[in-house]
Amino acid sequence: MILKLIIRNAFRHKLRTALTVIGVAVAILAFGMLRTLVGLWYLGVEQSSATRLVSRNAISLIFSLPISYKDRIRQISGVQNISWGNWFGGIYIDEKHFFANFAVEPKSYLELYPEFILPPEDRKVFINDRKGAVAGRKLAAKYGWKIGDIITLKGTIFPGQWEFVLRGIYRGAQKGTDETQFFFHWDYLNESLKKGIARRADQVGFYMIGVTRPDLAAEVSQAVDITFRNSLAETLTETERAFQLGFVSMTEAIMIAIQIVSYVVIVIIMVVAANTMAMTARERISEYATLKTIGFGAPHIALIVFGESMLIALLGGATGVLLTFPAAHWIETELSQFFPYFNVSTRTVCLDMLTACGVGIVAAVFPTWRGATIRIADGLRRIG
């Protein structure tokens, strides 16, 4: 009986109910997307390896380190593997078609990054071809690249037109692995610099260091920095996680702003839903009084009003959650250069539904109290 009254009351004014459900759905959709964005911003940090270190110039990333450092780093106890590279910053076609591209030492780099899965035959060809390059699966699919294609990048940090032969297309070991990167031989870059800009040759932007055990990370980091202390190019060595956090911290204000906006959206829809439920309660005061007259108690009235608010909020929440998945798929497909991985987690879905419940509860507080405490005589005085 109570459930039937709740459902009938919820859909008595179909247009009002539909608009309220849509409003809650849009708010939950926006909240879920914004929360997912914040989570993905820290995805690189969460997926960082505990056995990889990054060593760079202690002054800034824009300053380089001598290639000769690699031999001294290899001799440090606890170092298992070492690779090196430079951020290339090349542009494909024009500035709108930007993607991450690096010059790396291929063999050791692929050993340090087992999450980049490359077929053995492609791996061998890539390592042996000085002009060879490897692209992520999503990046290759976006531009229709195939093995053997010639890809030309316009240099920004390293001026000129740089041609590469696509020798491999890697896929990620996990769904969250970035499949939009492009990397090629550091030797190819270095040899070209020797011919054109000799003073910039034999310099690397970073060293990637693999340690034998995660517990040695701090010890090895300290040893590397001590080795090059008081040199012309001192190093700053940190875990890959700390390195990624350094980039994230640069945009921390933006992330805080996005989080604030996500909460503001929910507060606004709470106010809208509360106003709708308050309007409904005012219209039905006489009905509540009549129900009390025929034997319904205050708890029954409260349950009817509260149930109606929760039903509308949960319908809106469920609709918003259902819309979140196609929206996330569209973002991942159409905006892959910015969001190579845009997956809505179970935690986000649960948070969306809890938020919808919160909207329903807050919206129902005053109408529930009003309906449960109305005096029969006062309610029957009202007309309509």
Q: Is the predicted pLDDT of residue 384 greater than 70, yes or no?
A: no
Measured CA to CA in angstroms, residue 324 lies from 34, 98, 157, 218, 319 at distances of: 11, 27, 39, 41, 9
Q: Over the Cα atoms of the chain, what is R_g?
A: 30
Measured CA to CA in angstroms, residue 41 lies from 87, 96, 258 at distances of: 20, 21, 11
Question: Can you give the pTM of this predicted structure?
Answer: 0.68
Cβ contacts of 319-323, under 8 Å, gap ≥ 24: 319/21, 319/22, 319/24, 319/25, 319/28, 320/24, 320/25, 320/26, 320/27, 320/28, 320/29, 320/31, 320/32, 320/352, 320/356, 321/28, 321/32, 321/349, 321/352, 321/353, 323/25, 323/29
Q: Which residue has the higher pLDDT, 45 or 265?
A: 265
Q: Which residue has the higher pLDDT, 266 or 353?
A: 353
Range scoring the smallest mean pLDDT among 17-31, 171-185, 251-265, 331-345: 331-345
Confidence of residue 349 (pLDDT cuts 50, 70, 90): confident
* Per-residue model confidence (pLDDT) at position 101: 94
Chain centroid to CA 326: how far? Answer: 16
* pLDDT tens by residue, 67-93: 999 999 999 999 999 999 999 999 998
Cβ contacts of 278 within 8 Å, gap of 6 or more: 366, 367, 370
Contact 29, 323 (CB under 8 A): yes
CA 227-106-187 angle, to 5 degrees, is 75
* pLDDT tens by residue, 176-201: 788 889 999 999 999 999 988 888 89
* pLDDT tens by residue, 211-237: 999 899 999 999 999 999 999 899 999
* Per-residue model confidence (pLDDT) at position 251: 64
CA 211-216-218 angle, to 5 degrees, is 105
